[in-house]
Amino acid sequence: MRDMSGCRIATLIFIATAISIACLAGCPGTPVVKQPQSVDDAPLRIRIAKAEATRGAGEAELVELAVHGKKPERVLALRALGRLGGARALDTLVDALGVPDAEIRSAAAAAIGIATSLDEADAGTPRLTQALLKAWTPSPAFIEGVGRAADASAQRMIATCLQSESESAARAACAVALGRYGRRKIELSDAARGVLVTAARDRDASVRYAAVWAISREQLPANTDAAAQAAILPVLALLTTDELPEVRAQACAALGRRKLAVAARAALELALRDRDWRVAVEAVRALTGESSDDAGRDAVAAILGVRFTQLERGEAPEAHVVIEALKGLAAHTGRAPIASALSEIARRTAASKLPPLTRGWIECLAIAGTVRGASSPDYAIVEKCGHGGLPDQHRLPLLGELVTAKVGTLEARRAAIRTLLSHADARVRVAGIAAYATAWKDGEDTDHRAAIATVVAALGSPDPIVAGSAVDAATTIYEAIGTGDHAALDAAVIARAQIETDPELGASLIELIGKRTLGNGAPACRAGLDRAPVLAHAAAKCLEALGAPAAPRTALATATAPPVDVAQVIGKRLRWHLLTTRGDVVIALRPDAAPWAVATIVTLTKRGFYDGLELHRVVPDFVAQGGDPTQSGWGGPGFAIPAEASQGAGFVAGGVGIADAGRDSGGSQWFVMHSAAPHLDGRYTWIGSLESGQKSLDSLLIGDQVTRAIVEVVP
């Protein structure tokens, strides 16, 4: 989950009812991911971690332990095989589903779920589905695996489980399992959807949350059944008043995603005033989204002043509500109520005593919004906004957004692009590259030639920020050119792909070659087959698109362990203190769950790697993300770490994870959750939970810094 400007672009299976409710209420630091432990198993864990990190070289050892080891060895080895993936690992895991021991079966099913989450192409085969259903065990871990790996035929058994008298943890797991089908783009049956609607009224909070999350994530048919929507509408509207804020927030999100914002406007307008900022953020998104209407957006504009007043009173997370509203309303400032509200916010912010970064973001977004709706737009106002509180790298890209929105004359847009491209900071220049590409249709031949030349030069840049943005810009230009001359662009894309070793950037280039069917790029794609898993996966798809499919790899490639020492963290209790510009955040690290990731955090922290770095990504009611030395979403420590996804609900409020762009591509970037995100569990590496500092975390904005990071060994 990189900053999916680098993120291309983040499971609520509850271990016990009490833990589930506590986490839903926002209790940080609760160890919700259960890992196998013994009195002193550090030597075993070190052994397995080292075998796991070498991938193909350690596979045989892990298979031997999984088949013939003692029970603790088998459980840990099965988990490791799920993280490795591949044909041999899956064969071993399927065989383990047939053993009499229910704990071993659950560990195998969970590992199959992890393997298929990391490599989604392996999910949904009849073989996996039949093996999982035959071995069905009503434990949350087993149900997780079914939801991630089985095909649509498993919905019937999952729905039956959800309707059963099983413990709430198992029923919540079944609801989440149905929600996972949405992530996999598989439609739910009418029966499964009906069971979820019933479960959304359950007396148990964990079941209600899981059900509404699943409803919000459902893969909707092209022609959504009106009767199904009508049945869901009153349930979701009622849940916007649930006792738990995460349920209320998910209900608001579901109304927006299911395009029910207009029908549920009254409920969403009440949610705009919710005491929990996360609920208000989701209501803002629903009411300003594409499926809303003018009345809904006017309601958001009307509440802006109230939420701003709460922010001025010291409720720092309220900034997220205001900022999200300004972003959502920006495209609609031609309406008088909205333009008036934004102007008033800009005026109040300029006179406020808010922290400089907060004041800068709000003022500049409000001003940029009013410029979009002005009869004579003035880009210079945006260039000077923020009273020095918003640095260039965050303020000036707002000019690029105005260009993309076609605000003002063509000459004004050209001047804005020149301002961006001439800046010393790469994060500003990439905004100019993106704006150039999106302005293609309105440009003339000279603009087109300049845009191509700019993107070609950027594709050759040694700066990963610039090269990465150039891939996105090239994609936009290709679509604009159509069948026109794009030879220079082809050559630049292929040339960079041939030498690129960064997993995320290399995969993006190779995917583009396949998407554009650039035949000359076949050698670059073929070379990617022997690189990192993310690159290899993209390379295989590229060659298939080019009509030159590669023979499937029969064995896992050997990998080199990261340059950190897992023996220094396994078996220890560790705290990670992040001193930020909004206050201290203290995280309990979990080397038992992710030894390589934790060892990386510890090693880099001791080097001072994280000191002074900005948070480059904050998505309200989702995550705050940092740890990138380029502060753009494209950077890392210079090495990759193995994927160490776990079963269980780690990504609840306060859960901490490692960002990546696919299997074995993570590095130094970390993220902390504002709220639960079941779709991240089992896919991203969970490394621990917040012990203290939730308010500080919730207050962080893009541009805030970790001034210093410290690791403490707890006695």
The answer to whether the CB of 369 falls within 8 A of the CB of 355 is no
DSSP string, 267-297: HHHHHTT-SSHHHHHHHHHHHHSTTS-HHHH
Confidence of residue 36 (pLDDT cuts 50, 70, 90): very low
- Residue 55's pLDDT is 96
Say if 189 falls within a structural domain.
yes
Residue range 573-626, pLDDT digits in tens: 999 999 999 999 999 999 999 999 999 999 999 999 999 999 999 999 999 999
Going by pLDDT thresholds of 50, 70 and 90, the confidence category of residue 668 is very high
CA distances in angstroms from 421 to 22, 377, 398, 542, listed in the order given:
49, 21, 14, 32
Predicted confidence (pLDDT) at residue 351 exceeds the cutoff of 70: yes
Check if the beta carbon of residue 563 is closer than 8 Å to that of residue 665. no
CA atoms within 13 A on the CB side of 272: 29
Any idea what the CATH number is for the domain that residue 111 is in?
1.25.10.10
**Residue 655 domain-assigned (yes or no):** yes
Q: How far is CA 420 from CA 267, 398, 413, 431, 442, in A?
A: 42, 10, 11, 7, 18
Residue at which a domain ends, from 172, 202, 217: 217
709 in any annotated domain: yes
Q: Which residues contact 422 (CB under 8 A, 6 or more apart)?
A: none
* Contact predicate 360/390, CB 8 Å: yes
pLDDT of the residue at 550: 82
Q: Is pLDDT larger for residue 384 or for residue 6?
A: 384
Residue span of the structural domain in which 610 resides: 564-714
The residues near 636 (Cβ < 8 Å, ≥ 6 apart) are 628, 629, 667, 668, 669
Backbone angles phi, psi at 672, to 5 degrees: -125, 140
Average pLDDT (172-185) is: 96
% of residues, the chain, pLDDT over 90: 88
pTM: 0.93
492 in a structural domain: no
3-state percent breakdown (helix, strand, coil) of the chain, nearest 5:
55, 10, 35
**Phi/psi-derived region of residue 672, left when phi > 0, alpha when psi is between -120 and 50, beta in every other case:** beta
For 56-112, write each residue's pLDDT tens digit.
Answer: 999 999 999 999 999 999 999 999 999 999 999 999 999 999 999 999 999 999 999
Going by DSSP bridges, is the β-strand pair 705-714/617-619 parallel, antiparallel, or unpaired? Answer: unpaired
At position 638, the amino acid (one-letter code) is G
- pLDDT category at 16 given cuts 50, 70, 90 is very low
Distance between CA 488 and CA 454 in Å, rounded? Answer: 11
Work out how many domains the chain is built from and give that number.
2
Q: In Å, how far from its chain's centre is CA 356?
A: 28
Q: Are 701 and 583 in contact (CB under 8 A)?
A: no
Measured CA to CA, the distance from residue 346 to residue 341 in angstroms comes to 9
The CATH number that applies at residue 709 is 2.40.100.10
Strand 617-619 with 623-626, pairing:
antiparallel
Query: pLDDT digits over 440-449, tens only?
Result: 888 999 999 9
Q: What is the 3-state secondary structure (H, E, C) of 557-574?
A: CECCCCCCCHHHCCCCEE
Report the chain's C-alpha Rg in angstroms: 25
At 39 the pLDDT is: 52
Mean per-residue pLDDT over the chain, rounded: 93
Q: Where are the beta strands (DSSP E) in 454-556?
A: none
Residue 279 has pLDDT above 90, yes or no: yes
Q: What is the pLDDT of residue 554?
A: 74
Dihedral of alpha carbons 76, 77, 83, 89, sign: negative
pLDDT(10) > 50:
no
Q: Which burial class, exposed, middle or buried, applies to 563 when counting CB atoms under 10 A from its CB (0-12, 13-18, 19+)?
A: exposed
Contact 672, 691 (CB under 8 A): no
Residue 33's Cα: distance from chain center in Å? 19
Q: Residue 27 — very low, low, confident or very high, per pLDDT cuts 50/70/90?
A: very low
The reply to whether 290 falls in a domain is no
Among 478-487, 509-518, 563-572, 628-637, whose mean pLDDT is lowest? 478-487
> What pLDDT sits at residue 2?
55
Q: Are 96 and 79 in contact (CB under 8 A)?
A: no
Chain segment 123-177, per-residue pLDDT in tens: 999 999 999 999 999 999 999 999 999 999 999 999 999 999 889 999 999 999 9
Asked if residue 338 is part of any domain, the answer here is no
Domain contains 40: no
Would you state the pLDDT for residue 7? 39
Residue 615 located in a structural domain = yes
Question: Could you tell me the pLDDT band of residue 18, with boundaries at 50, 70 and 90?
Answer: very low
